[in-house]
Amino acid sequence: MIALFIELLSQIWPSALHGRQLHRLAAVGTMLLLAMTVVGIVAGFPRAARAYTEQRLTAHPCQSAIAYLREQAEWPNRRIVSDQIDIWRDFYPWLRNEYAIRVIDGYDPHDLPWETMIAERLDEYAGTDEFWWITYTDQPSHADRYFAQPAVHILEEQVLGACRVLRVLRTENAPIAVAPVHGGPINLMGYARDYAKVGEELHLVLYWQSDSSVATSYTVFVHLFDEAGQLVTQQDNLPGAGLAPTTSWQPGVVIRDPYRLAVPTTVPPGRYQIHVGLYTADGRVALQLPTGTSADRVVFDVEIQ
C-alpha cells in the first residue's frame, strides 16, 4: 500500500522532477517489498517442512519404534535389517541419517527355499555384529530359520506400534575371556565400540554369557588408560547399568552390557587402552585368555580423535 501511495503521488505531483523521483522511489520500494516477501517465503520453507514431517511422523504406524531407534542411535549397532520392503520405505525417511537400512531378499534362481536364502544372507550381511531386526506384525516374515540357530541371540524384543523390534546378535567365535567363577564360568563373548573424540563420550558394549547360574554378584570395571598408563576415565557398576546383576543371569542367555566413558577435554588425541574385568569386595577375578594365559583384565585398543 505504501508503494502504491508513493506511485500515486508521483503521478499527481506538480513538479516533473519530483514526480520522477517519487516514481523511482516507488519502484525501489516495490522491489524491496518483493525481495522481503521472497526471503520470508524461503525462510519459512524449513519450518513448514519440519511441521509437515512431524505431522507425518505423528500418523506413522511405528512412530514409537522410530522414536526408540533414534534414542538408541548413540550406540555402535547402527544397522536396521528386515525382509519386508515396506520397512525400508517407511523407516528410511526418518532414520536414514542414523542407520544403514537393508532389506534381505529371499529370492534364489535355483529355487532354494526362501527361508534358507534369508538365513544365509543374514549370516553374510550381519556377521557377528549386533543389529536391529524390524518387521510389521501384520505381514509375514521368513527369518525363522535364521533365528532358530543356537548362535543367534535376541537381546531385546518389543512391539512398538505396528512393528516388532528385535535387537539381535550372533556369537560364533570363542569367548575373548573366561572367568572360571563358582556357578559359572562367565564368558565375555565380545564387544562393540565407537571411535570417540576428545570431550565426547566413548560408547562401549560388552556381551556376557554364563554357562550356568552364577552364585555371586560381580562388578564390571571399564577403565580408559593413556599411552603412559595413566587412568583417564572409568565406569564401574553391575552389568546392564546395574539392572542385570550376575546372580540374575539365565544360563546361555547373552547379556548386553553398555557403557559411556566421558573423555575429558584435557587429554590429547591418540591411542588409548580400555581395560575390562570383574571384581568383588575380595578383589579382581582372574580371567583366562585365548592365548592360554591369565590376567585380571582384558585390554582393547581404541583411537581417540
127-147: burial string, b at 16+ Cβ within 10 Å, e else: eeebbbbbbbeeeebbbebbb
Residue from 289, 304, 297 nearest 227 by CA: 304
**213-224: average pLDDT:** 97
pLDDT tens-digit map of 87-130: 999 999 999 999 999 999 988 887 889 999 999 999 999 999 99
C-alpha cell at 33: 517489498
pLDDT of residue 9: 44
Categorize the per-residue pLDDT at 34 as very low, low, confident or very high, splitting at 50, 70 and 90.
Answer: low
pLDDT of residue 290: 93
pLDDT of residue 222: 99
Report the distance separating Cα 172 and Cα 163, nearest Å.
Answer: 28
Residue from 85, 93, 98, 96 nearest 59 by CA: 93
pLDDT of residue 143: 96
**36-63: average pLDDT:** 62
Element (H, E) at 70: helix 63-72
Report the distance separating Cα 226 and Cα 273, nearest Å.
Answer: 6
pLDDT of residue 50: 53
Angle of the 16-58 helix axis to the 2-12 helix axis, nearest 10: 160
How many other CB atoms are there within 10 angstroms of residue 35's CB atom? 10
pLDDT of residue 6: 47
Residue pair 61/162 in contact (Cβ under 8 Å)? The answer is yes
- All structural domains of the chain, each given as residue ranges with its CATH number in brackets, are 63-170 (no CATH), 177-304 (2.60.40.2550)
pLDDT exceeds 90 at position 218: yes
C-alpha cell at 273: 587402552
pLDDT tens-digit map of 249-260: 999 999 999 999
Report DSSP letters for 252-271, one per residue: TPPEEEEEEEE--TTSPSEE
pLDDT of residue 202: 96
How many other CB atoms are there within 10 angstroms of residue 85's CB atom? 11
* Helix, strand, coil tally for the chain in percent (to 5): 30, 30, 35
**135-140: average pLDDT:** 97
Residues whose CB is less than 8 angstroms from the CB of residue 112 and which lie 6 or more positions away in sequence, other chains included: none
Residues whose CB is less than 8 angstroms from the CB of residue 63 and which lie 6 or more positions away in sequence, other chains included: 57, 161
Average pLDDT along the chain: 88
